[in-house]
Structure 1
Amino acid sequence: MKDLYIYYQVREEQVQALEARVRAMQHKLAQDSGVAPQLKRRPETKDGLQTWMEIYPVVGDSFGALLESAVQQAELLSLTAGARHMETFMDLPPCA
């Protein structure tokens, strides 16, 4: 299992519209897959832009395709300032 971290920027004037879409998308993903998504943002705004992060902990290999489809259906890219960047992390095995 792995965790997905997706970060991107949003213009201040798009914040409310984007938040509504992301939360609706995450709610549906949670219902469909059982994942427990999170939505975060950096505390500061710079040059009229906020940096947001979506976190999807403990997902399987097929979740990335499900997420990409949900992003397209929600038309998130029309409200972001640039691309969405995805990072994947996995747990380190415990020391013996």
Structure 2
Amino acid sequence: MIDLYVYYKVREADAPTLAPRVCALQAHIGVPAQLKRRPDVRDGMQTWMEIYPNVDDGFPARLDLAAREAGLDGLIEGARRVEIFMDLPTCA
């Protein structure tokens, strides 16, 4: 199992339109999820992050397809960047 982190830039003017789409996507995808953003705004841009903990290895591809179907690309600036992390053995 992996933890998936997806981050991207959002034009401040597009944030009110994008938020319900991301929330609908997360409700539809069927796994626990979080949506966060950095508190600061730079040059009219916000940085958002979607977090999907403890998902299977095939989840990133399913999420990518769902994001395209939800029309997120037209409301973000640049690419959705994906980072994958996995657990390490517990220390003592």
Indicate the TM-score class for this superposition, using the shorter chain for normalisation: over 0.9
**Alpha-carbon displacement from aligned partner over 1:19-67 (angstroms, at most 9, x marks no partner):** 011000000012xxxx211000000001000000000000001111110
Q: How many residues align?
A: 92
* 3-state SS in 2 of match to 1:66: helix
C-alpha RMSD over aligned residues: 0.9
The TM-score, its normalising length taken from structure 1, stands at 0.92
Give ranges in structure 1 of 5+ residues lacking alignment: none
What is the aligned partner in structure 2 of residue 22 from structure 1? 22
Match of 1:53 among 49, 54, 77: 49
* Pairwise CA distance, 1:95: 3.5
CA distance in 2, matches of 1:51, 1:15: 10
Report sequence identity in percent.
55
Which residue identity is paired with 1:50? Q
CA distance in 2, matches of 1:62, 1:84: 17
CA distance in 2, matches of 1:57, 1:27: 15
* 3-state SS in 2 of match to 1:91: coil
User: Pairwise mapping of residues 25-40 of structure 1 onto structure 2 (< 5 A)?
Assistant: 25-30=25-30, 35-40=31-36
